[in-house]
Homo-oligomer: A and B are copies of this chain.
Amino acid sequence: MTYCCALRLKDGLVFISDTRTNAGVDHISVFRKLYTFGIENERFITIQTSGNLATTQAVIGHLKNHLELQQTPNLYSVNTMFEVAELVGHTLQKVIADVTENTQEQSNYYCSLLVGGQIGQAEMQLYNIYPQGNFICATSDTPYFQIGESKYGKPILDRALSYDMPLSEALRCSLISFDSTLRSNVSVGMPLDALIYKKNSLHIPEGKRITEEDPYFQHISKQWSDTLRSGLQNLPNPSDDYFN
């Protein structure tokens, strides 16, 4: 499986993906699921992928191929983030249609994608692209999307995340969401890829690969465990009627 989450906040975009893929428990590999595109000072685009690995690699492959051969429309020829989402959605539809003959088979090849970025001085956008190629857009009410094994890490995001939060705080919150998921589900695994985009910078960030030895991740993981344990200890005891 996979866990990816992406946030669209007042000050920028945050993307984190794991790298574990599995086809059965005896076929586990490390594959990047976070891809960055862009032209310095003009546009920044990130795509995160979850689902059938052949499908997600084909989608990214076609998008890159179009750029390389300068076939339009491509990620650098379209004018808005909405058109980027449409392009990615159509590419996904085409990839799935290529390997399936009838709709009943399609679900074997499904994948989901998160697409975020900014073009020029237009607003930053974040889209959640469904396996069917249609999509929804993040708003200030719902500033985050998750794909893959999303449930383990959702409670902390639901409680703590807000649109107005500084990027560093949101990053901490997302890393804790990953830490919870990693502990409860072996199909999500280190290393993680993290990327932070600052609003209106139009700078293509390098991103950071977070390994198990990363001192910052180790530190917050340990501190968070201690916080939860002592937090549980400090809860008052239930009243007697709980034991009737």
Question: Who on chain B is nearest to A194 by CB?
Answer: B242
Number of A residues with CB within 8 Å of any CB on chain B:
52
Q: How far is the CA of A41 from the CA of B137 in the complex (A)?
A: 60
Q: Is A27 among interface residues, defined by CB-CB distance under 8 A?
A: no
Instruction: Kindly list chain B residues whose C-beta atoms are within 8 Å of the C-beta of A169.
Output: 232-233
Q: How far is the CA of A229 from the CA of B154 in the complex (A)?
A: 15
Verify A234–B227 contact, CB threshold 8 A.
yes
Instruction: Kindly list chain B residues whose C-beta atoms are within 8 Å of the C-beta of A51.
Output: none
* Minimal beta-carbon separation of A175 from chain B (angstroms): 8
A158, A227, A231 — which one has the most chain B CB atoms within 10 A of its CB? A231
User: Interface of chain A, helix or strand or loop or mixed?
Assistant: helix
> A155 with B154: in contact, given A216-B239, A242-B196 (CB under 8 Å)?
no
Instruction: Kindly list chain B residues whose C-beta atoms are within 8 Å of the C-beta of A167.
Output: 243
- Tell me the number of copies of this protein: 2
> A228 with B225: in contact, given A154-B152, A183-B158 (CB under 8 Å)?
no
Verify B227–A231 contact, CB threshold 8 A.
yes
Q: How far is the CA of A239 from the CA of B208 in the complex (A)?
A: 11
> A159 with B234: in contact, given A151-B152, A208-B244, A242-B171 (CB under 8 Å)?
no
Verify A156–B228 contact, CB threshold 8 A.
yes
Q: Is A5 among interface residues, defined by CB-CB distance under 8 A?
A: no
> A159 with B229: in contact, given A154-B184, A184-B151 (CB under 8 Å)?
yes
Q: A160 is contacted by which of B152, B205, B220, B232 (Cβ under 8 Å)?
A: B232
Q: How far is the CA of A233 from the CA of B162 in the complex (A)?
A: 13
Q: Is A61 among interface residues, defined by CB-CB distance under 8 A?
A: no
Q: Is A172 among interface residues, defined by CB-CB distance under 8 A?
A: yes
A-B contacts, 20 listed (Cβ < 8 Å)? A155-B155, A155-B184, A158-B184, A159-B183, A159-B228, A160-B229, A168-B238, A169-B232, A171-B242, A176-B232, A176-B235, A196-B243, A205-B244, A216-B236, A216-B239, A223-B235, A223-B236, A227-B227, A227-B234, A228-B231
